[in-house]
Amino acid sequence: MAKQVILCVDDEKIILDSLKTQLKENFGNSYTYEVAENADDALEVIEELTIEGFDILIIVSDWLMPGIKGDEFLIKVHEKYPRIVKVMLTGQASKEAIERARQYANLHRYIAKPWSEQELVDAIKSGIAAL
């Protein structure tokens, strides 16, 4: 069975560290946890992991990042990998950006920053259940 991955994308390292810690505390070694600091890096990570035979289950992405915004990034991911569950975690996204991600990227969940650990865990669990 392919190693299953949860990918977190945010331009703030402290956020990525927090997400990774919370995910590991709640899901242990059930998944591999990868991070990327912007959408371009994330697209490369997705490509590499897919080539290496990993199964990317969920992407948790910020919206306000340098370069490509989170909704545009999730739409790109959805076009190529529609099966990946997409979660947007942000304090900055407009209602329009969230709606675009829902409509064109099949956004599973929107979580506002600052988030609660339980909210994150619930989004991951429901996302995995939806696969």
Q: Tell me the domains of the chain and their CATH numbers.
A: 4-129 (3.40.50.2300)
pLDDT in tens, 92-124: 889 999 999 999 999 999 999 999 999 999 999
pLDDT in tens, 59-92: 999 999 999 999 999 999 999 999 999 999 998 8
Distance CA 77, CA 75 (A): 5
Of 102, 97, 34, which is closest to residue 70 (Cα–Cα)?
97
pLDDT in tens, 1-49: 679 999 999 999 999 999 999 999 999 999 999 999 999 999 999 999 9
Residue 26 Cα distances to 39, 58, 67, 122, angstroms:
25, 15, 31, 10
Q: Which residues, at least 6 apart from 76, have a Cβ–Cβ distance to it below 8 Å?
A: 39, 43, 68
